[in-house]
Amino acid sequence: MKINIIGGGPAGMYFAILMKQADAAHDITIYERNGPDDTFGWGVVFSGKTLANLRDADAISHAEITREFEAWDNVDVVQGHDKISIHGNSFSGIARIRLLKILRARCERLGIRIHFRSEVGDIDALKRESDLLIGADGVNSSVRQRYADHFQPNLSARPNKYIWYGTNQLFHGLTLTFRENDAGVFAAHSYKFNQTTSTFIIECDPETWSRGGFAEMSDGDTRECLEQVFAEDLHGHELLSNNSKWINFALVKNAHWQFENVVLLGDALHTAHFSIGSGTKLAMEDAIALKQCFDRASSVSAALAQFEEVRKPVIEDYQAAAYESMLWFENGRAYMRITPIELAYALMTRSGRVDRETLIRRDPAFIAAYERQPRASS
């Protein structure tokens, strides 16, 4: 089968690996607009369950990915001088650039062609010469836009502003930190992803952002201001920028996922708020699901129809939980007057996927402490 893939991110490369591994006769080409060493972002995070899926799908890349991993089991919630740790959560982090390099090396060894610095302009022409065309071209997907009449995308920009930094301060666990200044409330989502660096995403509501004067601030002044907001947490370490800019989270959905021999994967197809887990996990699990449909189906159109049928409910469920989590952070200011342990409980249960029973299993000491505490709200 002649497979052309637009986008050399995790979704595109991982799908190529899985298909080529299943049948070396597939002729697979990836077109990537960036160079091999260009990347944005810092670390990506996977749950224990996702790692098991990656191991079952491709043991070789799984071994390389896990060799580089930083693993932890705690979520830390920090507010004022208090830090509440909740254990029993299994997560790991790796630098996005390392992940992409591992996947690229695996593609090359399998004989998959990757054309870097290759922007696909004429999508129709590529579609005509493909048995299967994959739109793995990220959140601003041109493939989705080209066939928008068929995919019927639903795109919305959320009100909160966020900015993706790194730092050499190491956060040993998924750390959610809340700080206030005259402008309002800022939340940081941070975790270490190698032995020297952590991801540090800062989020605030639009009122805080306007009062903070960030619209007129240079990149350097923005970092300096946010370093002051999180001075107690950064311990003198700088915020590291990788062309970091304030953005609004873009929620992407598509009514239809496939059109003739074209299918979308990863961020092109759907996004889920970063507070619930990374888009990288969903992108790679999409690739696994689509490859499994090709194992079972006898034609491209049957495989794509099956992919939409099997994977869409999973993604809708995930997006629903991510939506609740996103709303929680959009209304974060409302939670600043409860006690730290109440805040921690509210955070752990925000998506509706984790309840008291789950927390009793994961960390009975946390629930015991929570239930012993007098409530600010009672």
Ligand X SMILES: Cc1cc2nc3c(=O)[nH]c(=O)nc-3n(C[C@H](O)[C@H](O)[C@H](O)COP(=O)(O)OP(=O)(O)OC[C@H]3O[C@@H](n4cnc5c(N)ncnc54)[C@H](O)[C@@H]3O)c2cc1C
135 binds ligand X, rule: CB under 6 A: no
Q: Per-residue string for binding with ligand X, 179-208, x by CB under 6 A?
A: --------------------x---------
Q: Which is nearer to ligand X, 79 or 280 (CB)?
A: 280
Give which of 100, 92, 273 is closest to 192, Cα–Cα: 92
- CB-count exposure of residue 355 (10 Å: 0-12, 13-18, 19+): exposed
Q: Which of 3, 4, 5, 7 binds ligand X (CB under 6 A)?
A: 7
Q: Which is nearer to ligand X, 54 or 367 (CB)?
A: 54
| Residue 182: DSSP 8-state | T
33 binds ligand X, rule: CB under 6 A: yes
Q: Which of 31, 162, 246, 370 binds ligand X (CB under 6 A)?
A: 31
136 binds ligand X, rule: CB under 6 A: yes
Q: Are 351 and 319 in contact (CB under 8 A)?
A: no
Give me the least distance between CB of 191 and ligand X, in Å please.
10
93 binds ligand X, rule: CB under 6 A: no
Q: Which is nearer to ligand X, 143 or 343 (CB)?
A: 143
Instruction: Give 91-102 as a DSSP string.
Output: EEEEEHHHHHHH
Instruction: Give 223-263 as a DSSP string.
Output: HHHHHHHTHHHHTTPPEEPSS---EEEEEEEES--EETTEE
Q: Which of 3, 5, 12, 151 binds ligand X (CB under 6 A)?
A: 12
Give me the least distance between CB of 161 and ligand X, in Å please.
12
153 binds ligand X, rule: CB under 6 A: no
φ, ψ dihedrals at 280, nearest 5°: -65, -40
Give me the least distance between CB of 250 and ligand X, in Å please.
8
Measure CA 357 to chain center. Answer: 27
Residue 83 forms beta bridges with which residues? 78
Q: Which of 15, 17, 29, 32 binds ligand X (CB under 6 A)?
A: 32
Measure CA 252 to chain center. Answer: 13
Give me the least distance between CB of 200 and ligand X, in Å please.
10
Q: Are 332 and 346 in contact (CB under 8 A)?
A: no
Q: Which is nearer to ligand X, 184 or 279 (CB)?
A: 279
Give which of 151, 243, 160 is closest to 202, Cα–Cα: 160
Rounded to whole angstroms, how far apart are CA atoms 227 and 229?
A: 6
Return the residues of window 287-346 that contact ligand X according to CB under 6 A. none
Q: Take residue 288 and report the two structure tokens written for it.
A: 């696994």
Return the residues of window 94-123 that contact ligand X according to CB under 6 A. 96, 119-120
Return the residues of window 207-266 that contact ligand X according to CB under 6 A. 266
Q: Which is nearer to ligand X, 32 or 76 (CB)?
A: 32
Q: Take residue 304 and report the two structure tokens written for it.
A: 């794509």
φ, ψ dihedrals at 227, nearest 5°: -65, -35
Rounded to whole angstroms, how far apart are CA atoms 69 and 55?
A: 14
Q: Which of 233, 267, 342, 363 binds ligand X (CB under 6 A)?
A: 267
CB atoms within 10 A of CB 336: 13
Binding region for ligand X (CB under 6 A) out of 47-55, 56-64, 220-228, 278-286: 278-286
130 binds ligand X, rule: CB under 6 A: no
Binding region for ligand X (CB under 6 A) out of 41-49, 73-81, 147-155, 220-228: 41-49
Rounded to whole angstroms, how far apart are CA atoms 139 and 147?
A: 15
Q: Which of 153, 173, 279, 332 binds ligand X (CB under 6 A)?
A: 279
Q: Are 223 and 241 in contact (CB under 8 A)?
A: yes
Radius of gyration of the chain (CA): 21
173 binds ligand X, rule: CB under 6 A: no
Binding region for ligand X (CB under 6 A) out of 81-89, 183-191, 273-281, 352-360: 273-281
Q: How many residues bind ligand X (CB under 6 A)?
A: 32
Give which of 93, 276, 101, 279 is closest to 199, Cα–Cα: 93
Give me the least distance between CB of 53 and ligand X, in Å please.
16
Which amino acid makes up residue 323?
Y
Q: Which residues bind ligand X (CB under 6 A)?
A: 6-12, 31-34, 40-44, 96, 119-120, 136-138, 142, 164, 199, 266-268, 278-280, 283
